[in-house]
Structure 1
């Protein structure tokens, strides 16, 4: 990253100043900032009132990004563990500095329960029995009749009864469940709903409070406070806390493409494509081009070639790219 303390000699000063402000915000909340970074930020902010105003604008835009802000960092005893593959807790000194730097930068609204840009694990996922990092997939034999494959950035917790595993709670992410003729139905809880299967294959996705259940083989029953329904092969149902939708037809092969290392998009908004890529890629891609968010894209991408895919997206939509610390990529 170039020296952010000096942007006054550039011809396109306002835009570069805006980008520098975003760069500082990302760095200060990434968990990788140092004391030297904090001092450099103070020098940059002291260059003039426009720098402070640009930072305030970046902060306000940040607050519009998902996941949404929750409780203030200052009101939490726990601070964030940085998302680093298996997610290790940062040192006390780093956490103290991060809290101080964020406070000084006037972004104390960033919460440990809703981390900015998804750069670390939310508080409610810390007690997972199994977790995968960005780009990681993992298969677990929960019982002699049930196998679970976890997709990227997924956290699950087992549910036991009478000394044996009878289900799991999908805290976040996506899981494929294969059930071989079990004596009792295996259940997956995601949000307000529960999916039950006595024999077959199904997938559950739970992100940002919204769940999606797909039947790949056999049959699945989905129970929700707003109603219950049954899914057959090639059917999918979605729900949130308040309601559950009617089953819709889907291609099971496309729905399960992630198990083959693929992402399939069919006339998907560019913003949705970027959001999905973010689940598989360490760091974060931020689309700062509002006019392009709803442009559609159809593609079949390989997990192992996401950087190449991002380069193609950059060229196709005439975007400029800027890399920042922590694997953050700004597209504008």
Structure 2
């Protein structure tokens, strides 16, 4: 099985688990039931996985709770396999929910979205390249007279071919043959341009143009001062997190965007300096590397509940 097939299968399983979690959390609204129906109709694989998931859930629910664990210890391989899969499915549903928990409600209706820790790239109808960072969502509007991406949540990177609009809650971006990133925040959109030029127009107020190597904050009522940055440095598009004498607190707040669950740390660790290049695909390894190079300890209450504390001096 190819890596692409593995990734597609995992993504499909996460989506099915999420629908199960929503269904078990108290039922689906009429609109959500319609969305689920459309999800099941996307392909035979979608429907087959949903049928299997529901069948496993029904079989597991038929087993009395006191007997479920005992059944796993019986020598019947078929029953053990069935209950093992059912238990895995029951575990998968809440984990799928945790992966998506940071997305706003509007993201559920978005054309494209990513879970916490997931990144996704695709080619748009006009040939432009779009990448979604962790916990992000967009709507697409590509018609004969409009090529527009609406940023609903999170962060995107765009490598535009022709004229392209990016709509955000704080204003509009216009680009043609440009590469740029847009990150949605509470105070505005952080826009950075690595190639070409991008025109920024806030909801109200005067617009401005950013050139390659510049970044600025697009607010609803204005645009912050343009600042220079090194456009050649790799970043999340390459799956990397870079730090150059960065305060540990800042690094951990960025890392928390890519990690489902709770990540907490003692305030005494905030100002420790960190330098390094870290792979975003393995956040556990990042925590291990930090513990190996800094005076801190990593405590796992569960895989999704992690705390960092100053390391005790045992010398």
TM-score of the alignment, normalized to the shorter chain, above 0.5:
yes
Contact 1:117 1:284 in 2 (8 A): no
Alignment of 1:69-80 (within 5 A): none
Contact 1:143 1:165 in 2 (8 A): no
CA distance in structure 1 between the aligned counterparts of 2:195 and 2:109, rounded to whole angstroms: 31
The Cα of 1:164 is off from its aligned counterpart by: 5.9
Task: Count how many residue pairs are aligned between Structure 1 and Structure 2.
Answer: 225
CA distance in structure 2 between the aligned counterparts of 1:118 and 1:304, rounded to whole angstroms: 17
User: Which of structures 1 and 2 has the bigger CA Rg?
Assistant: 2
Contact 1:118 1:284 in 2 (8 A): no
Answer yes or no: is 1:279 the counterpart of 2:257.
yes
Alignment of 1:172-191 (within 5 A): 172-180=153-161, 182=162, 185-191=163-169
Alignment of 1:5-154 (within 5 A): 85-86=14-15, 88-89=18-19, 90-95=21-26, 119-154=101-136
Paired position in structure 2 for 1:50: none
Q: CA RMSD in A?
A: 2.9
Deviations 1:192-220 (A, max 9, x none): 12211022211111234532111111111
Distance 1:277 1:95, change over 3 A: farther
- Aligned counterpart in structure 2 of residue 312 of structure 1, from 257, 274, 289: 289
Deviations 1:11-57 (A, max 9, x none): xxxxxxxxxxxxxxxxxxxxxxxxxxxxxxxxxxxxxxxxxxxxxxx
Q: TM-score normalised to the size of structure 1?
A: 0.60
Answer yes or no: is 1:264 the counterpart of 2:242.
yes
Larger helix fraction of residues: 2
Higher RCO by CA contacts (8 Å cutoff, separation 6 or greater): 1
CA distance in structure 1 between the aligned counterparts of 2:294 and 2:132, rounded to whole angstroms: 32
Contact 1:200 1:217 in 2 (8 A): yes
The Cα of 1:234 is off from its aligned counterpart by: 0.8
Contact 2:99 2:116 in 1 (8 A): no
Distance 1:299 1:193, change over 3 A: farther
CA distance in structure 1 between the aligned counterparts of 2:272 and 2:217, rounded to whole angstroms: 24
Contact 1:85 1:133 in 2 (8 A): no
Distance 1:272 1:290, change over 3 A: same
The Cα of 1:322 is off from its aligned counterpart by: 2.6
The Cα of 1:93 is off from its aligned counterpart by: 4.5
Contact 1:137 1:149 in 2 (8 A): yes
Unaligned runs of 5+ in 1: 1-83, 97-114
CA distance in structure 2 between the aligned counterparts of 1:171 and 1:308, rounded to whole angstroms: 31
Contact 1:119 1:284 in 2 (8 A): no
Contact 1:154 1:174 in 2 (8 A): yes
